[in-house]
Each structure stands twice: as structure tokens, then as C-alpha cells.
């Protein structure tokens, strides 16, 4: 695993200049060429624990386009570890899309189950059933959504502090694992989260994950009280896009030379820009955590035209 710090990069756009905002990108997208950066952060301590357990291999879960499955397959392949992916959707197969093809190419053994079965994946009885079927495989929850996943993401904040003082950090939310890790590490800094799922109750999702990790209710309440949730930037729901978002990705790329992915980081940057345009961060320093995902953008370019045009 690449343990180097990711780059912290200052960028300027027409709107950061107009509102006098110092905007920095924490380039976790550059941690690895093939997989989303935050997936490496989330997997780090699971892999350490796996190595101590001397299990037969790693088993994990994901949907059809899961960046988490891709990251797990890639890591296991590079380390010669056997991997099993339990995929939501019995109608799928290893050539249904590029993400699944990638996993299969990297030697991941894919098993497709129904949505009903998948919904039970965190139940004790289903986990035991999997252990019977795949004896001695170390199980990592979907999206690395557990304490060890948050622990890896906590490390992002001290890395940034080493370089700059900052007032706020923005991050996309799927399982909320990354944002919970940041919440645990932030002190004076404001945490701003942008859910990419429709009708997502960010704070209660974060509270669920934290309480499953044995944090107590009062601690969780205090921790989440000051989290800023930016609603209305799901663009219709998970993986949904419209022309406005696609054009935002193109313009942002032309201005900064940084690629945003349509599923997570573009929606988050769009929310950040909206806050900047309202004057919320004038004369302040804001960090945007670039969680990656750009490797999955190709299917959008194929469908909607180039997202990262040459100037």
C-alpha cells in the first residue's frame, strides 16, 4: 500500500477569486492510478488486521459499480491475496460493466446474489453462512464501513494540518465512513458533508455507523452537532447527472486541470461553489478532499461527450 502523503494543492477558479477564498485540494485521487483514493484510506487498517489473522483471503461486498470492490480487487491482486466479491444483483455477471470486469481481471472471485439476500449481508446468520461457504475468509463490510475504515480516514486531517491552517473541509458522502473519520479528527475546523444519495439523512447515517462502532450516544451527539450538511446536490440520486453538472465538470477542468468524477466529487465541488457564491467562505481557507472516482468517469464520457476537454 502506498503510504505517502497525498498532495495538498492550492487552486484558483473565477469564483474563488471573486469571493477571496483560499481553496486547497487534498489530492487523495492521486494516491493510486486505478482506484478511488478514499478506498485505500478505508482499507488500510482492515488489511493490517487481515495480515495478523493469517486468513485464507479477503471477502467483501458491493453493488454493480462499486469503487470499493475495485479497490479491494486491485490491492489483493498486487499482494497475491485471494479475494471474493459478493455483488448485489443476481442478474449481473463478470462482464456486465467495466468495474466488474476489472475485479474479475484482477482475480476477484465474484458471486452474484439477489437484492433480498444482499440486504441481509450484515446479519450474523448470513455472515456465518458465508464463513461456511468460504472458510477462513476475512470479511470487510461494504464500503469499509466500520471502525477500521474511519480510522484510516482520520489520518487525512493531521496530514493537512502539517501544511496549512484551514477553516473548513468538504467531503462527499456515500456510506459516511470517510466523513465520520474526518469528524473524529477535526477540532476547530468545520466539517461540511455532501450526500450524493437522494433522501439521505446524513447525520443519522453517521450516527448509526458511529454507534455500531461502539461510540456512546452523548459523544456522537456532540460530535455531529456542528457538522454542516449540504442538501440538494444529489442531482436526482446516486450516479445521476444533468447537463449543468456535466458542464460544471468541463469548466472546472478547463480552469484548474483537475478532473472531478460525476458520482461524488463533482457534486461536492458544486455544493462548495454554491456556498462560496453565497459569500460563506470569503477571506477563509477551505480544503476539498478529492476522494477520487475519476477512473469510473469513462462511461459518462462515452455517453455524454468528453468531460475533460483539452483547452
Q: How far apart are CA 207 and CA 225, in angstroms?
A: 11
- Which sign, positive or negative, has the C-alpha torsion 24, 147, 267, 250? positive
C-beta closer to ligand PLP: residue 85 or 174: 174
C-beta closer to ligand PLP: residue 39 or 44: 39
Label residue 124 exposed, middle or buried (CB < 10 Å: 0-12, 13-18, 19+).
exposed
What crossing angle do the helices spanning 217-225 and 202-212 adopt, rounded to 10°? 140
Q: How far apart are CA 168 and CA 26, in angstroms?
A: 12
Residues 94-133, mask of contacts with ligand PLP (x by CB under 6 A): ----------------------------------------
Are 3 and 266 in contact by the 8 Å Cβ rule? The answer is no
Residue ranges in 247-266 that form contacts with ligand PLP under rule CB under 6 A: 261, 264-265
Q: How far is the CB of 26 from ligand PLP (least distance, A)?
A: 12
Q: How far is the CB of 18 from ligand PLP (least distance, A)?
A: 27
Q: Does 174 bind ligand PLP (CB under 6 A)?
A: yes
Q: How far is the CB of 200 from ligand PLP (least distance, A)?
A: 10
Q: How far apart are CA 234 and CA 199, in angstroms?
A: 9
Q: How far is the CB of 216 from ligand PLP (least distance, A)?
A: 22
Q: How far apart are CA 269 and CA 243, in angstroms?
A: 16
For 128-254, strand residue ranges (E) read 137-140, 168-173, 190-195, 228-229
Count of residues interacting with ligand PLP (CB under 6 A): 19
Q: Does 291 bind ligand PLP (CB under 6 A)?
A: yes
Q: How far apart are CA 50 and CA 238, in angstroms?
A: 31
Q: Minimal CB distance to ligand PLP: which residue?
A: 293
C-beta closer to ligand PLP: residue 85 or 143: 143
Residue among 293, 295, 297, 307 that touches ligand PLP (CB under 6 A): 293
Residue among 74, 99, 175, 259 that touches ligand PLP (CB under 6 A): 175
Q: Does 177 bind ligand PLP (CB under 6 A)?
A: yes
C-beta closer to ligand PLP: residue 9 or 90: 9
Which residue has cell 458520482?
A: 263
For 131-223, strand residue ranges (E) read 137-140, 168-173, 190-195
Q: Does 300 bind ligand PLP (CB under 6 A)?
A: no
Residue among 6, 139, 176, 259 that touches ligand PLP (CB under 6 A): 176
C-beta closer to ligand PLP: residue 13 or 38: 38
Q: Which are the contacts of 298, defined by CB distance < 8 A and separation ≥ 6? A: 98
Q: Does 74 bind ligand PLP (CB under 6 A)?
A: no
Q: Does 38 bind ligand PLP (CB under 6 A)?
A: yes
Nearest to 97 by CA among 128, 135, 62: 62
Q: Does 55 bind ligand PLP (CB under 6 A)?
A: no
Residue among 43, 113, 169, 172 that touches ligand PLP (CB under 6 A): 172
- The interface region with ligand PLP, picked from 16-24, 167-175, 224-232, 302-310 by CB under 6 A, is 167-175
Label residue 71 exposed, middle or buried (CB < 10 Å: 0-12, 13-18, 19+).
buried
Q: How far apart are CA 260 and CA 252, in angstroms?
A: 8
Give the residues lining the site for ligand PLP (CB under 6 A). 36, 38-39, 67, 143, 172-179, 261, 264-265, 291-293
Amino acid at each position: 500500500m502506498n503510504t505517502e502523503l497525498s498532495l495538498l494543492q492550492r487552486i484558483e477558479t473565477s469564483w474563488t477569486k471573486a469571493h477571496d477564498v483560499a481553496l486547497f485540494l487534498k489530492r487523495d485521487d492521486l494516491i493510486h492510478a486505478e482506484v478511488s483514493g478514499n478506498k485505500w484510506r478505508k482499507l488500510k487498517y482492515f488489511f493490517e488486521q487481515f495480515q495478523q489473522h493469517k486468513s485464507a483471503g479477503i471477502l467483501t461486498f458491493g453493488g454493480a459499480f462499486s469503487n470499493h470492490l475495485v479497490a479491494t480487487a486491485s490491492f489483493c491482486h498486487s499482494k497475491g491475496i485471494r479475494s471474493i466479491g459478493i455483488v448485489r444483483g443476481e442478474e449481473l455477471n463478470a462482464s456486465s460493466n467495466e468495474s466488474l470486469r476489472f475485479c474479475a481481471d484482477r482475480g476477484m472471485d465474484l458471486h452474484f446474489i439477489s437484492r433480498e439476500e444482499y440486504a441481509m449481508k450484515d446479519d450474523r446468520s448470513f455472515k456465518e453462512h458465508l464463513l461456511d461457504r468460504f472458510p477462513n475468509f476475512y470479511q470487510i463490510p461494504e464500503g469499509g464501513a466500520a471502525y477500521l475504515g474511519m480510522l484510516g480516514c482520520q489520518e487525512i486531517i493531521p496530514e493537512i494540518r502539517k501544511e496549512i491552517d484551514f477553516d473548513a473541509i468538504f467531503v462527499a458522502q456515500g456510506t459516511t465512513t470517510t466523513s465520520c473519520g474526518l469528524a473524529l479528527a477535526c477540532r476547530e475546523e468545520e466539517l461540511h458533508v455532501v450526500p450524493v444519495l437522494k433522501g439521505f439523512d446524513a447525520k443519522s447515517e453517521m450516527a448509526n455507523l458511529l454507534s455500531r462502532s461502539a461510540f456512546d450516544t452523548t459523544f456522537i451527539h456532540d460530535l455531529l452537532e456542528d457538522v454542516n450538511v449540504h442538501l440538494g446536490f444529489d442531482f436526482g440520486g446516486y450516479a445521476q447527472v444533468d447537463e449543468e453538472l456535466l458542464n460544471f465538470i468541463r469548466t472546472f477542468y478547463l480552469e484548474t486541470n483537475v478532473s472531478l468524477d460525476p458520482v461524488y466529487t463533482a457534486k461536492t465541488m458544486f455544493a462548495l461553489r454554491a456556498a462560496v457564491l453565497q459569500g460563506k467562505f470569503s477571506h477563509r481557507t477551505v480544503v476539498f478532499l478529492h476522494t477520487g472516482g475519476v477512473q469510473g468517469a469513462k462511461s459518462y464520457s462515452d455517453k455524454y461527450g468528453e468531460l475533460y476537454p483539452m483547452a
